[in-house]
Amino acid sequence: MSEQDHEVVHAYAVGDQVAAASYHLTRDSLVRYAGASGDFNAIHYRDDVAAEVGLPGVLAHGMLTMGLAVQPVIDWLGDPTLVDGYQVRFTRPVVVDPVAGADLTVTAKIGQIDEAAGTARIDLTTTVGDDTVLGKAQVRVRLP
């Protein structure tokens, strides 16, 4: 048998969905993230402060949203070191209701493949309800 017979070949195509996940955020989630990140801005846990600055309610941390959005890709890759770059544009805040919370949904699809380099651009669609909360969310990866 040749060396090629032992190779595992992955066939990916532009448009393929490679990962998806949903995350339920609660006010407790925000408090835990604040403790882990050190970001104790009151807009992330106090309705009165959020209202005073003109926000529609308590907001999830942007970095929490961004981190959750890339997690399904990391799970699919099986190795976080295969991520070469990640960018997002924050398009809409994630309002976390005090009772219902918020459900963040992420879908990851291949947007571009560079076969010669063995890399791909993964496009993320990140929504809460019908609203897209991250725009131009793209992850550059080395294919496993």
User: If you search the block for the tokens 């999830």, which residue do you land on?
Assistant: 60
CA max distance for the chain? 71
What is the structure's pLDDT at 11? 85
The CATH homologous superfamily of the domain defined by 11-142: Hotdog Thioesterase (3.10.129.10)
- pLDDT score recorded for residue 112: 97
The model scores a pTM over 0.85: yes
Pairing of strands 83-90, 17-25: unpaired
Share of the chain above pLDDT 90, in %: 92
Q: In angstroms, rounded to a whole number, what is the distance separating the alpha carbons of residues 4 and 92? A: 48
Q: Where are the domains of the chain?
A: 11-142
pLDDT confidence band for 119 (50 / 70 / 90)? very high
Q: What is the pLDDT of residues 31-81, one digit of tens each?
A: 999 999 999 999 999 999 999 999 999 999 999 999 999 999 999 999 999
